[in-house]
């Protein structure tokens, strides 16, 4: 019988890596809370229309990468490929617009059918934030700041570069689109088949193309900055001045774009050279047209998402597992008292290992294998005296401690 394997593009996350990933999530959550963001959790699958509306019918995600299926009720369902769409849908369907402005933090698995690669599998995980209901540039500044603070708290900010660009307002985007279409039409023969289709449907998506031929053509395309009107330039000036006031360094990248029409003004990415080709670890931007496109009111928004696996790979020192206290029954009569003591100490907040098999020597080996900080030995002598023998497994020193004083004595090993 063939050995069962995980589905291609998925994997098991074992304890050491799970600790790294949990550290990323907990750090992101804690930093976001300092900025006033509350946690939200949306379903990992939605009606397919949620993503088609938000990601665009011609995007690679929609046309090639979404896990979509028809459920038993005949509804077309898609496993979420990203987090913003679900949060936007929740705002509309949950009637949350009356509570604006809103700040949300989320974390969880995402799904895309693509070639598995370093730091990006078909099931991957993200943290993200969304700030909804604030049209002023202060929202962009704060959103970028919470991203920078998260990376800093993880100890990886110094390995990244914040790249920044302005996509302008709708008028500026329209002016740029016209220039871009004119330029690309002149080079249409050299475009990939996908980009030729996008030229008719959504030409800005061509700027996101990974095709080498497309990239060469894009290199000579007009730049967004050439089409920015006065209002757009003023908005971006406020953003850059605010980041400078906060001491957040950035580099302007006039090729950094978002192809969908509801994106506007600020686009940003924290990139790194430490992960090879997969250089983006946190990316976001302003999306003032998204909520209206989903059937809600015109609600401005800005947010970002970061890959948990990629951030975990950047962390140099993984959080260590807490060292347990081992409770060792030296004889059969001590098994139940050891079990009761283990439960008691767990209620006091200790991590406890309770070896079940073998003699005392074998149980001590187990205690050392799990890197226990101390061992509590219970035998006939200890049970009769209402005490326990506490052995420091680092120094080898041991002492007899009264049962009533045990929790206090072990506090140093917590």
Output the tens digit of pLDDT for each of the chain's 414 residues.
Answer: 888 998 888 999 999 899 999 999 999 999 999 999 999 999 999 999 998 877 766 566 776 788 999 999 999 999 999 999 999 999 999 999 999 999 999 999 999 987 766 657 899 999 999 999 999 999 999 999 999 999 999 999 999 999 999 999 989 988 988 999 999 999 988 889 888 888 887 788 788 788 898 889 988 999 888 899 999 999 999 999 999 999 999 999 988 887 676 889 999 999 998 887 658 999 999 999 899 988 889 999 999 999 999 999 999 887 888 899 999 999 999 999 999 999 999 999 999 999 988 898 999 999 999 999 999 999 999 999 999 999 999 999 999 999 889 988 998 887
Q: Would 199 be classed as within a structural domain? A: no
Question: Domain with 335 in it: what CATH number?
Answer: 3.40.50.800
Structure tokens at 159: 């390995």
Query: Based on the domain organization, do 276 and 385 belong to the same domain?
Result: no
Q: Would 9 be classed as within a structural domain? A: no
Q: Would 274 be classed as within a structural domain? A: yes
Q: Which residues contact 197 (CB under 8 A, 6 or more apart)?
A: 58
Query: Based on the domain organization, do 156 and 258 belong to the same domain?
Result: yes
Query: Based on the domain organization, do 310 and 344 belong to the same domain?
Result: no
- Residue 289 gets which letter from DSSP? T
pTM: 0.89
- Residue 266 is predicted with a pLDDT of 96
Q: Would 186 be classed as within a structural domain? A: no
Query: Based on the domain organization, do 281 and 373 belong to the same domain?
Result: no
Distance CA 141, CA 237 (A): 11
- Residue 193 is predicted with a pLDDT of 86
Residue 315's Cβ-count burial label (10 Å; 0-12, 13-18, 19+) is: middle
- Residue 1 is predicted with a pLDDT of 82
Query: Interior CA angle at 308 toward 206 and 351, to 5°?
Result: 170
Q: Which residues contact 110 (CB under 8 A, 6 or more apart)?
A: 80, 81, 82, 83, 123, 124, 125, 126
Domain boundary among 314, 345, 380: 314
Question: Domain with 145 in it: what CATH number?
Answer: 3.30.930.10
Query: Based on the domain organization, do 360 and 242 belong to the same domain?
Result: no
Domain boundary among 268, 291, 314: 314
Q: Would 351 be classed as within a structural domain? A: yes
- Residue 274 is predicted with a pLDDT of 86
Q: Would 189 be classed as within a structural domain? A: no
Q: Would 303 be classed as within a structural domain? A: yes
Phi, psi of 184 (to 5 degrees): -70, -35
3-state secondary structure of 107: strand
Q: Would 188 be classed as within a structural domain? A: no
Q: How far is residue 306 from each of residues 43, 84, 387, measured CA to CA in Å?
A: 19, 12, 51
Query: Based on the domain organization, do 119 and 247 belong to the same domain?
Result: yes
What is the side-by-side strand order in the sheet with 123-132?
38-39, 102-111, 123-132, 301-307, 280-286, 264-272, 160-166, 251-252
- Residue 58 is predicted with a pLDDT of 57
Count structural domains, the chain.
Answer: 2
- CB 37, CB 129: distance < 8 Å: yes
Phi-psi region of 151 (alpha: psi -120 to 50; beta: other; left: phi over 0): alpha
Distance CA 173, CA 176 (A): 5
Query: Based on the domain organization, do 374 and 280 belong to the same domain?
Result: no
- CB 280, CB 271: distance < 8 Å: yes
- CB 324, CB 351: distance < 8 Å: yes
Query: Based on the domain organization, do 112 and 163 belong to the same domain?
Result: yes
Distance CA 122, CA 115 (A): 8
Distance CA 356, CA 338 (A): 10
- Residue 278 is predicted with a pLDDT of 59
Query: Based on the domain organization, do 138 and 243 belong to the same domain?
Result: yes
Query: Based on the domain organization, do 295 and 342 belong to the same domain?
Result: no
Range of 251's domain?
Answer: 15-169+229-314
- Residue 117 is predicted with a pLDDT of 67
Query: Based on the domain organization, do 156 and 263 belong to the same domain?
Result: yes
Domain boundary among 293, 314, 335: 314
Distance CA 146, CA 143 (A): 5
Q: How far is residue 133 from each of residues 139, 267, 286, 364, measured CA to CA in Å?
A: 9, 18, 11, 59
- Residue 405 gets which letter from DSSP? G
Distance CA 128, CA 284 (A): 9
Distance CA 303, CA 322 (A): 34
Query: Based on the domain organization, do 253 and 143 belong to the same domain?
Result: yes
DSSP sequence for 70-103 = E-TTS-EEEE-S-SHHHHHHHHHHTTGGGG-SEE
């Amino acid at each position: 019988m063939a050995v069962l394997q995980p589905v291609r593009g998925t994997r098991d996350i074992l304890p050491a890596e799970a600790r790294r990933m949990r550290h990323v999530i907990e750090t992101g959550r804690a930093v976001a809370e300092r900025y006033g963001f509350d946690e939200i959790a949306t379903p990992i699958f939605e009606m397919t229309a949620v993503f088609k509306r938000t990601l665009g019918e011609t995007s690679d995600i929609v046309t090639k990468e979404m896990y979509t299926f028809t459920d038993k009720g005949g509804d077309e369902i898609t496993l979420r490929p990203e987090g913003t769409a679900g949060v936007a849908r929740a705002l509309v369907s949950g009637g949350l617009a009356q509570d604006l402005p809103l700040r949300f933090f989320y974390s969880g698995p995402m799904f895309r059918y693509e070639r598995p690669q370093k730091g990006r599998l078909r099931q991957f995980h993200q943290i993200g934030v969304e700030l909804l209901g604030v049209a002023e540039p202060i929202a962009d500044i704060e959103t970028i700041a919470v991203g920078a603070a998260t990376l800093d708290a993880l100890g990886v900010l110094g390995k990244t570069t914040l790249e920044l660009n302005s996509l302008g307002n709708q008028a500026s985007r329209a002016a740029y689109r016209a220039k871009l279409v004119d330029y690309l039409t002149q080079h249409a023969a050299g475009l990939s088949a996908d980009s030729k289709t996008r030229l008719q449907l959504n030409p800005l998506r061509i700027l996101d193309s990974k095709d080498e031929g497309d990239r060469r053509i894009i290199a000579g395309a007009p730049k967004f900055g050439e089409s920015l009107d006065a209002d757009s330039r003023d908005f971006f000036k406020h953003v850059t001045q605010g980041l400078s006031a906060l001491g957040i360094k950035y580099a302007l990248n006039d090729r950094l774009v978002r192809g969908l029409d509801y994106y506007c003004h600020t686009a940003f990415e924290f990139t790194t050279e430490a992960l090879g080709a997969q250089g983006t670890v946190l990316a976001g931007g302003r999306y003032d047209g998204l909520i209206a496109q989903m059937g809600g009111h015109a609600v401005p928004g800005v947010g970002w998402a970061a890959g948990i696996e990629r951030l975990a790979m950047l962390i140099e020192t993984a959080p260590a597992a807490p060292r347990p206290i081992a409770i060792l029954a030296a004889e059969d009569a001590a098994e139940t008292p050891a079990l009761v003591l283990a439960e008691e100490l767990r209620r006091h907040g200790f991590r406890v290992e309770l070896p079940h098999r073998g003699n005392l020597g074998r149980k001590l080996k187990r205690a050392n294998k799990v890197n226990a900080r101390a061992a509590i030995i219970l035998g006939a002598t200890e049970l009769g005296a209402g005490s326990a023998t506490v052995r420091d497994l680092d120094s080898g020193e041991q002492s007899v401690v009264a049962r009533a004083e045990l929790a206090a004595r072990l506090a140093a090993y917590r």
